[in-house]
Amino acid sequence: MKAPIAAIALASLVGCSMGIKKGGDHPTVSFVVPISYQEAHRLADSQGRECEQVIGMQVNGSVYTDNQTAVVRFSSSGATAPLERVDIKSTGVNQSQITVTVWGVGIWDKYELSAMRKTLETGKIACRGDNRAWNKK
């Protein structure tokens, strides 16, 4: 009887610590792409919806026309913060600065960073499992 209660308590504690925390040491990549911030938002959103087929996964975000920025967040039920975040800022006509941050645990790793980068640089959806060779140096 005590084991199930302990497991539930542990799961609750782990759930509270899930996600990208401000000031944390999370894998991040920044780069510039030759597309508008709206197109970058559309691609990042599409990549999340097509590739992140995890139960309870939610992909959401916003486009802010007033300051020409956008954000896409990948969240999971039980997580208190996003597991992946794509920040997008217009830096000129059809040019955007992208910053992708992942949690750094499980599938939220350098391979996911690489998949999102590949998606935004090529305009074609690339999923995490497609790109293990991309990060080999």
Check residue 78 and give its pLDDT: 78
Q: How many domains does the chain have?
A: 1
For 127, the token pair is: 């999923």
Q: How far apart are the first and last CA of the chain?
A: 50
- In angstroms, the Cα distances linking 14 to 2, 8, 78, 85 are 18, 10, 9, 20
Containing structural domain, residue 13:
2-135
Residue 3 scores a pLDDT above 80: no
Check residue 17 and give its pLDDT: 65
Q: What is the pLDDT of residues 8-42, one digit of tens each?
A: 333 444 444 689 998 889 999 999 999 999 999 99
Q: What is the pLDDT of residues 69-118, one digit of tens each?
A: 999 999 988 788 999 999 999 999 999 999 999 999 999 999 999 999 99
* CATH of residue 49: 3.30.310
**Cα–Cα distance measured from residue 105 to residue 119, given in angstroms and rounded to the nearest whole number:** 21
Q: What is the pLDDT of residues 43-76, one digit of tens each?
A: 999 999 999 877 788 999 999 999 999 999 999 8
